[in-house]
Amino acid sequence: QVQLVESGGGLVQPGGSLRLSCAVSGVTSDSDYYAIGWFRQAPGRGREVVSCITRRGAIRNYLDSVKGRFTISGDVAKNAVYLQMNALKPEDTGVYYCAVPSSDILYCPARELYTNWGQGTQVTVSS
């Protein structure tokens, strides 16, 4: 079974940068997953999709509020996905999760279709 582990969170001042990593293990073939999404959940709010990338990078989606500031990338050989976050704002604060949908989904789906989740990494943007 595919497992995911996030890292790279921390405390950063507004305007700063962080790079999150998502390591995927338990992969036995290229068909185990096709897309990886990054999500975040702020205190008292629901989990929202921040960005998603398909396995070969053909599709990259972003939440409107992070466009131009966040960049998602992937290293297929290493089964890793990264989220470079620049010009961070206090409203970017939250727990960031990576997740994959079931292997039969060949696009970036809605949140409800993601089945395997990491444990999350905390990002705090504050002065």
Q: Tens digits of per-residue pLDDT, 85-123?
A: 999 999 999 999 999 998 888 889 999 999 999 999 999
User: Residues 59-77: what's their mean pLDDT?
Assistant: 92
**pLDDT at residue 28, as a whole number:** 82
Is residue 77 over pLDDT 80?
A: no
pLDDT in tens, 9-54: 999 999 999 999 999 998 888 778 889 999 999 989 999 999 999 9
Longest dimension (CA), the chain: 44
**pLDDT at residue 106, as a whole number:** 86
The better pLDDT of the pair 77, 119 is held by 119
Is residue 1 over pLDDT 80?
A: yes
Is residue 72 over pLDDT 80?
A: yes
User: 79: pLDDT confidence band, cut at 50, 70 and 90?
Assistant: confident
Q: Which residues 6+ apart lie within 8 Å of 73 measured at CB?
A: 53, 57, 81, 82, 84
DSSP β-bridge partners for residue 7: 21
Q: Would you give the DSSP letter of residue 55? A: T
**pLDDT at residue 27, as a whole number:** 83
